[in-house]
Copies of this chain bind each other. A is one copy, B any other.
Amino acid sequence: MEQRVHKRTTQQLQVVYQVVCQSCSHPTADDVYLWARRILLRISLGTVYHNLQRLVDEGKIGVLSFGDRIARYDPTTVDHAHLVCRHCGLVQDVVLDPRVLGAGLKFLTRSGYTIFSHSFVAYGLCPACEKGCSGTLQTV
């Protein structure tokens, strides 16, 4: 099974990757599209999706999903968890204590499963939102 398709490095691919990497948050495909258009005026949303998919397949970026059917892309590919603020929507990376995570995964493998990957997401209020606006929670 050899790599028979010769992949090309296009401007669009580079811009999409650059936008995801420079994003301080965890951008959606549309976020990436909006930013990419500031650099490549004629880039299309389809191309953005195509290149995001390719980058994910190549392991260069990660995809996330928080149950709202909207994919979010993540430049950080190392093992980490996410904190999602129910009020402002902020998504923050968190590096979990490896001992804790290791214990959790060991617990799971004991059940006979082989585990490739995992996802840990905590939903709550970020420090800023907890102070200011306690009470009006975002639905979902």
Contacts and interface: CB of A to CB of B under 8 A. Distances in A.
B127 A116 contact: no
B83 A113 contact: yes
A97 interface: yes
Give the oligomeric copy count: 2
Contacts of A126: 112-113
A114 interface: yes
Q: How large is the interface on A (under 10, 10 to 19, 20 to 34, 35 or more residues)?
A: 35 or more
A5 interface: no
Given A69-B69, A120-B120, A104 B96 contact: yes
Interface string A78-114: 0001010110000000101100110111011001111
A111 B94 contact: yes
